[in-house]
């Protein structure tokens, strides 16, 4: 089933049925089912921000599919020295078969997709991280199943925003607790509602964790927000995922990583059996390989 979309800029660029199919394919590929091969196929990877998981999972994933991934860091491209993004996009599309981009401004990945004559995948922007959501949903399916309920606790950031929409698409019950000044964009809840989810965000983390199968958190200071550090640390004091918060639940824990131990999550929780984070990180590659098969191939 090829995807109707040419690009994957946020999780709801695919339909719920396509998302379900992608997760099925990811699980099958993880289990060793043979996948289509893409020899002579190159994925360009533009990074304005650092990365461990996104870079390594896409690069290794393309190797596993028989293709090649090209790392293009901030200093590697003329883009970093004044060449306009749209010119970069036009040229890139003449060479590569697909592009994955990790950028600051979400509008930039939209512009890239408009001007590049190849599929474009969002590898994280300030607003969204849909590849992470694919891996999150695969991990939840494995650990709990499709009837899971998930509590997002912490910053209303890129990872959380894509997750809330993706969870709604997958029929997963999601609750959200963020500080008042660091909530998600209201459009996120409208998008979730369009898939039948009624998500009422709260500022009380304790009220969302006790009924959850999974508690999901992410860093309080995302890449590019370093100047807001002091202000944000003060606002997030009550939002740490720690033994106290989890005292009345046996919920498992997700974190997209990298984690800042002692800030949004304690070392003890991250090192405990509750943490699904290493499977979650591995699942980046399986989920993205399924996406690459669908976007770069014909879906067969």
Q: Would you call 4 exposed, middle or buried from its count of C-beta atoms within 10 A (0-12, 13-18, 19+)?
A: exposed
Min CB(149)–ligand CP separation in Å: 22
Residue closer to ligand CP by CB (options 41, 125) is 125
Q: What residues make contact with ligand CP under the rule CB under 6 A?
A: 51-54, 124, 132, 256-258
Establish whether 129 is a catalytic residue.
yes
Residues 24, 10: Cα–Cα separation, whole Å: 19
Residues 287, 21: Cα–Cα separation, whole Å: 11
Per CB under 6 A, 219 contacts ligand NVA = yes
Q: Would you call 91 exposed, middle or buried from its count of C-beta atoms within 10 A (0-12, 13-18, 19+)?
A: middle
**Binding partner at 158 among ligand NVA, ligand CP, none, C-beta below 5 to 8 Å by kind:** ligand NVA
Q: Of 129, 141, 191, 286, which one is the catalytic site residue?
A: 129
Write b or e for each residue in 180-211: b if 16 or more Cβ atoms lie within 10 A of its Cβ, otherwise e: eebbbeeebbebbeebebebebbeebeebbee
Residues 27, 290: Cα–Cα separation, whole Å: 9
Per CB under 6 A, 266 contacts ligand NVA = no
Establish whether 102 is a catalytic residue.
yes
Q: Which stretch binds ligand NVA (CB under 6 A): 66-74, 155-163, 203-211, 273-281?
A: 155-163
**Binding partner at 16 among ligand CP, ligand NVA, none, C-beta below 5 to 8 Å by kind:** none
Active-site residue numbers? Answer: 102, 129, 132, 218, 256, 284
**Can you give the binding site for ligand NVA, defined by CB under 6 A?**
124, 157-159, 218-219, 222-223, 256
């Amino acid at each position: 089933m090829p995807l109707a979309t040419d690009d994957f800029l946020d999780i709801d660029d695919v339909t719920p049925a396509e998302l379900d199919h992608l997760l099925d394919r990811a699980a099958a590929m993880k289990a060793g089912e043979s996948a289509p091969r893409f020899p002579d196929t190159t994925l360009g990877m533009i990074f304005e921000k650092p990365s461990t998981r996104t870079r390594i999972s896409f690069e290794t994933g393309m190797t596993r599919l028989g293709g090649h991934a090209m790392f293009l860091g901030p200093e590697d491209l003329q883009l970093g020295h004044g060449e306009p993004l749209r010119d970069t996009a036009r040229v890139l599309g003449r060479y590569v078969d697909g592009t994955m981009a990790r950028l600051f401004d979400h509008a930039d990945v939209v512009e890239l997709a408009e001007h590049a004559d190849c599929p474009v995948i969002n590898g994280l922007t300030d607003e969204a991280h849909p590849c992470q959501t694919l891996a999150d949903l695969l991990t939840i399916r494995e650990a709990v199943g499709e009837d899971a309920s998930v509590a997002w606790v912490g910053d209303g950031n890129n990872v959380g925003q894509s997750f809330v929409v993706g969870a709604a698409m997958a029929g997963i019950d999601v609750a959200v607790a963020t500080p008042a000044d660091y909530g998600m964009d209201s459009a996120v809840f409208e998008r979730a509602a369009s898939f039948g989810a009624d998500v009422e965000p709260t500022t009380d983390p304790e009220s969302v964790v006790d009924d959850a199968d999974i508690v999901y958190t992410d860093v309080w200071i995302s890449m590019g927000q370093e100047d807001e550090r002091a202000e944000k640390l003060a606002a997030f004091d009550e939002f740490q995922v720690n033994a106290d918060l989890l005292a009345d639940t046996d919920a498992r824990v997700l974190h997209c990583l990298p984690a800042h131990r002692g800030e949004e999550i304690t070392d003890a929780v991250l090192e405990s059996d509750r943490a699904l984070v290493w499977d979650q990180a591995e699942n980046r590659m399986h989920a993205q390989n399924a996406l690459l098969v669908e976007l770069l191939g014909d879906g067969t």
